[in-house]
A and B are shown apart, each in its own frame.
Chain A
């Protein structure tokens, strides 16, 4: 795919977010899809490609009356939507379809008809991890952190500072679930969930969703929305279970994804104006800053200590408040993409003036996968 040959022409989140018991898991996907189609001025018969994770693409397509020529049900965890963007761009470039709808919806909090994954005691996880008390993500994706902290000299206070800075961003956003400021001391005094992770170092659990519509840059000119171009993309995977992660201080999936995205975009890190780094727990953006090459190994801590990620900082990060303070339904990647698109449209609640390039990076499952999309608003 040629850089900037594909564009986002529709983007929207669900009508309501946070606690939405009146919609099912699938219903949240469909609500987001209707909002994204309205945003783009499209109706279902205009859509000929569908991608989603959690729910099946056929459920989304059939419910909306779409007859797709192309589908993608890639599910590699919360960064699945980054991979959908990448795959959709390639599919449009290849001529398989012209207009792709990507949806996310998850009843993470209310658990209304959730997409369930059956536990398999014969899987690698079932045999070699689950017997030791692992289950929800806070017992898995957090495991590398102690090694990272020791090897890099990063502290629990550094993790807490990230949470504080993201809360500052969230307070500028009326759609954010959290409404009160927090301090480092308050973060470090919040209840212990899985040492060293306290409640305020963990993501929210909310209901919500979002959807994107992609088409060719040529067609994008005819849409009512300001086109946001796909400049570069990457994806990567590493392991099925976190105990098989090669090095607990760096993610191979992150590095692969980042290298591919920057390589295909043809930009350097100093070109980037805005950054979204999926933060299910506070340590993950530290890995992303280093593995994507924004910081040298072990130096992401200075990025936060010097408030470079904060309001007024040199490279604003997670300007919606992130999974820690904005919304987190379970597969958060779509919300990171939505904020990148808003920033490129100039329509974000905490808008970065003059931002032209936004990098959006997601983690999938337990450091198992990664996806990176680089957006620009310049054709």
Chain B
């Protein structure tokens, strides 16, 4: 189990509550309609405090990544991806790509991804991304 766990703040608690509920929550500004991440109680585009939290689709594409061959001690011993994904709604976030070989051949930029949640402890559930399986949607 990874030892580096988020400590939510009042500004981010709703996001982490969403992860526990299996929802990837984003914020949208009611004034200028921009969607943004990480969460904060005002819009970074226009400073409006009139916000709406909503559940994102969970779909994303692979923007960039590395494969860490010298993992942090709590991350196991095998090389693993560290990736930045672009959510369907626009914002980007850091994650790991799981559910596929951790190789350049399996990790192609712009590949389609889907969020999956993994419980870390009673308060923290982390969002990860795996390759999108079209068959699973039927």
Residues of A within 8 A of B (CB): 119-122, 124, 126-135, 139, 142-147, 150, 191-197, 241-244, 248
- Chain B residues with CB under 8 Å of A133's CB are 2, 4, 68, 71-72, 75, 80, 82, 96
- Grouping DSSP codes into helix (H, G, I), strand (E, B) and loop, the B interface class, with mixed when no group exceeds half, is loop
Kindly state the separation between the CA atoms of A139 and B75 in the bound complex, as whole angstroms: 13
Minimum C-beta distance from B70 to chain A (A): 6
**Residue among A120, A133, A196 with the most chain B CB within 10 A?**
A133
- Grouping DSSP codes into helix (H, G, I), strand (E, B) and loop, the A interface class, with mixed when no group exceeds half, is mixed
Kindly state the separation between the CA atoms of A77 and B101 in the bound complex, as whole angstroms: 35
- A147 engages B64 (CB within 8 Å): yes
- B82 engages A121 (CB within 8 Å): no
* B96-138 interface bits toward A, Cβ cutoff 8 Å, 1 = contact, 0 = none: 1000000010000100000000001000101000000000000
- Chain A residues with CB under 8 Å of B6's CB are 121-122, 126-128, 130-131
The size class of the interface chain B forms with chain A is 20 to 34
- A124 engages B38 (CB within 8 Å): yes
Kindly state the separation between the CA atoms of A131 and B71 in the bound complex, as whole angstroms: 12
- Check if B56 is an interface residue, CB within 8 A of chain A: no
- A195 engages B12 (CB within 8 Å): no
- B66 engages A243 (CB within 8 Å): no
Q: Which of A130, A194, A241 contacts B66 (CB 8 A)?
A: A194
- Chain B residues with CB under 8 Å of A139's CB are 66, 68, 82
- Check if B63 is an interface residue, CB within 8 A of chain A: yes
Residues of B within 8 A of A (CB): 2, 4-9, 12, 38, 63-72, 75, 79-80, 82, 84, 92-96, 104, 109, 120, 124, 126
Minimum C-beta distance from A239 to chain B (A): 11
- If A129-B94, A131-B2, A134-B82 touch, whether A248 touches B71 (CB-CB below 8 Å) is no
- A146 engages B64 (CB within 8 Å): yes
Q: Which residue of A lies closest to B109 (CB)?
A: A150
- A121 engages B5 (CB within 8 Å): yes
- A130 engages B4 (CB within 8 Å): yes
Given A133-B68, A143-B84, A147-B63, 6 new contacts (CB under 8 A): A127-B38, A131-B4, A131-B6, A132-B82, A146-B66, A192-B69
Q: Which residue of A lies closest to B4 (CB)?
A: A130
- Chain A residues with CB under 8 Å of B70's CB are 193-194
- Chain B residues with CB under 8 Å of A248's CB are 63-64, 84
Minimum C-beta distance from B116 to chain A (A): 14
List 4 A-B pairs, minimum CB-CB distance, nearest first: A195-B67, A127-B6, A121-B7, A147-B64
- A195 engages B7 (CB within 8 Å): no
Kindly state the separation between the CA atoms of A196 and B126 in the bound complex, as whole angstroms: 26
- Chain A residues with CB under 8 Å of B66's CB are 139, 142-143, 145-146, 194-197
- B4 engages A121 (CB within 8 Å): yes
- Chain B residues with CB under 8 Å of A196's CB are 66, 104
Kindly state the separation between the CA atoms of A121 and B66 in the bound complex, as whole angstroms: 22
- Chain B residues with CB under 8 Å of A127's CB are 6-9, 12, 38
Kindly state the separation between the CA atoms of A139 and B65 in the bound complex, as whole angstroms: 10
Minimum C-beta distance from A131 to chain B (A): 5
- A195 engages B38 (CB within 8 Å): no
Kindly state the separation between the CA atoms of A314 and B66 in the bound complex, as whole angstroms: 34
Kindly state the separation between the CA atoms of A121 and B6 in the bound complex, as whole angstroms: 5
- Chain B residues with CB under 8 Å of A130's CB are 4, 6
- Chain B residues with CB under 8 Å of A191's CB are 69
- Chain A residues with CB under 8 Å of B64's CB are 143-147, 248
Q: Which residue of A lies closest to B76 (CB)?
A: A133
- Chain A residues with CB under 8 Å of B68's CB are 133, 139, 194
Q: Which residue of A lies closest to B124 (CB)?
A: A131
- A194 engages B69 (CB within 8 Å): yes
- Chain A residues with CB under 8 Å of B84's CB are 143, 242-243, 248
Minimum C-beta distance from B73 to chain A (A): 10
Q: Which residue of B lies closest to A246 (CB)?
A: B92
18 A-B pairs within 8 Å (CB atoms) are namely A124-B38, A132-B94, A133-B68, A133-B71, A133-B80, A134-B82, A135-B72, A143-B64, A143-B65, A143-B66, A145-B64, A145-B66, A150-B109, A191-B69, A194-B70, A242-B94, A243-B92, A243-B94
